[in-house]
Amino acid sequence: MNSIRGKWALITGATSGFGHATAERFAQAGCNLIITGRRTEKLEAFEHVLNEKYGVKVLAYCFDVRNLNQCVEMANDLASREIVPDILVNNAGLASGKDKIHEGLIGDWEKMIDTNVKGLLYITRSILPMMVARNDGHVINIGSVAGHIVYPEGNVYNATKFAVKALNEAINLDLAGTNVRCCSIDPGAAETEFSKVRFHGDEDKAQKVYEGFKPLQAEDIADIIFYVATSPPHVNITNLVVYPTAQRSAYVLHREVKKEEE
Ligand code: NDP
Ligand code: 8X3
């Protein structure tokens, strides 16, 4: 195992779900953290918890990854502190809406494209040059099984995650000859705030997504990210696809039917 104790990991979208669980997993292992998100209160409270509970150094940057200037400002601030992230987890992302393409909301599409594709690019373009200059680093992109197979009403979300898959491959190709590694971790159904966000805050609709089966938990993905981040420097895991056991594809999900409904 390649220890991450004392290293710096930058995790975008650490206020909930995968990002939050990953920050906690990394902190347990003694890794210093740079955490981001838009919800100030959550981010600052989490910064405090990580620092108090695990004794690691934590820097919190509250901003929207859709804002290029703010991505660059964070990178400049890190550079002024002489911090080069050893690990970048490009996690901030979302689905917004689930509609047939001819009924989709343009605002939802823009949110997803601007966050999942352009936001990931802005962060990568701001941080990767520092890694390349140091000839060391690890980029871990959170893609999705939605980037491998399109499902009905997934349309634009699918397209953004296909883009993440392409960019993950592109980063690996363009970094050939350096010691900077790049991996995409592509989960299936996982119970986080994802569905609540997708359905614009409708909790009932969100809960139904996970009825009748055991979905992936944020901690499952955090463990996988930790495994990838601690692999030896000569090992480059470029892609991992992970489904809950009840789900074998976007089209095959086994749900137990409740007795009273039979
Ligand atoms: P959550 O909604 O629980 O977490 C999303 C995180 O991203 C939050 O911390 C949120 O923070 C942050 N975020 C969203 N938009 C922005 C933005 N514009 N700027 C900055 N931060 C932002 O969902 P998950 O943990 O499930 O999602 C994390 C990633 O995993 C996403 O890329 C998602 O597409 C992907 N994924 C999720 C799956 C699932 O089933 N849950 C399966 C496969 C992939 P804040 O609101 O504070 O800004
Ligand atoms: C999230 C998983 O299957 O809802 O990326 O697209 S899915």
Our measurement of the distance from residue 39's CA atom to the centroid of its chain's CA atoms, rounded to an integer in Å, reads: 16
pLDDT in tens, 206-248: 999 999 999 999 999 999 999 999 999 999 999 999 999 999 9
Beta carbons within 8 Å of 3's beta carbon, 6+ residues apart = 29, 30, 230
Give the nearest ligand 1 atom to 115 CA.
18
Q: Is residue 170 part of a domain?
A: yes
Tell me whether residue 248 is in a domain: no
- What is the reported pTM? 0.98
54, 157, 210, 227: the active-site residue: 157
Span from the CA of 51 to the centroid of ligand 2 (angstroms): 32
Question: Is 122 a catalytic site residue?
Answer: no
Q: How much helix, strand and coil, in percent to the nearest 5, is found in the chain?
A: 45, 20, 35
Q: Residue 41: CB partners within 8 Å, gap ≥ 6? A: none
Residue 117: pLDDT band with limits 50, 70, 90: very high
Domain annotation covers residue 2: no
- Tens digits of residue pLDDT in 133-176: 999 999 999 999 999 999 999 999 999 999 999 999 999 999 99
Q: How many Å apart are CA 262 and CA 259, to the nearest integer?
A: 5
Q: What is the CATH number of the domain that holds 91?
A: 3.40.50.720
Verify whether ligand 2 is closer than 6 Å to residue 188 (CB atom). yes
DSSP 147: G
Average pLDDT, the chain: 97
**Is the beta carbon of 189 within 6 A of some atom in ligand 2?**
yes
Q: What is the pLDDT of residues 185-207, one digit of tens each?
A: 999 999 999 999 999 999 999 99
Residue type for position 103:
E
Residues contacting 86, CB < 8 A, separation 6+ = 4, 7, 8, 9, 136, 137, 138
What's the pLDDT band for 258 if we cut at 50, 70, 90? confident
Q: How far is the CA of 40 from the centre of ligand 2 (A)?
A: 26
Q: Are 65 and 92 in contact (CB under 8 A)?
A: yes
DSSP state of 247: E
- In the chain, how many domains are there? 1
Q: Is residue 190 part of a domain?
A: yes
**Best residue for ligand 1 mutational test, from 194, 200, 216 (most atoms within 8 Å of Cβ):** 194
Does the residue 258 lie in any domain? no
Q: Which ligand is nearest to the CA of 154?
A: 2
Please name which of 130, 143, 18 lies closest in space to residue 83, comparing C-alpha atoms: 130
Residue with CA at minimum distance from ligand 1 atom 41: 190
In short, whether 144's Cβ falls inside 6 Å of ligand 2 is: yes
Residues 6+ apart with CB under 8 A from 219: 21, 25
Classify residue 142: in a domain, yes or no.
yes
- Ligand 1, pocket residues at CB < 6 Å: 13-19, 37-39, 64-66, 91-94, 115, 119, 142, 144, 187, 189-190, 192-194, 197
Task: Please give the radius of gyration of the chain, using alpha carbons only, rounded to the nearest integer.
Answer: 18
Q: Domain range spanning residue 169?
A: 8-241
261 within some domain: no
On whether residue 256 sits in a domain, the answer given is: no
Q: Which residues contact 258 (CB under 8 A, 6 or more apart)?
A: 212
Q: Give the number of the ligand closest to the Cα of residue 68.
A: 1
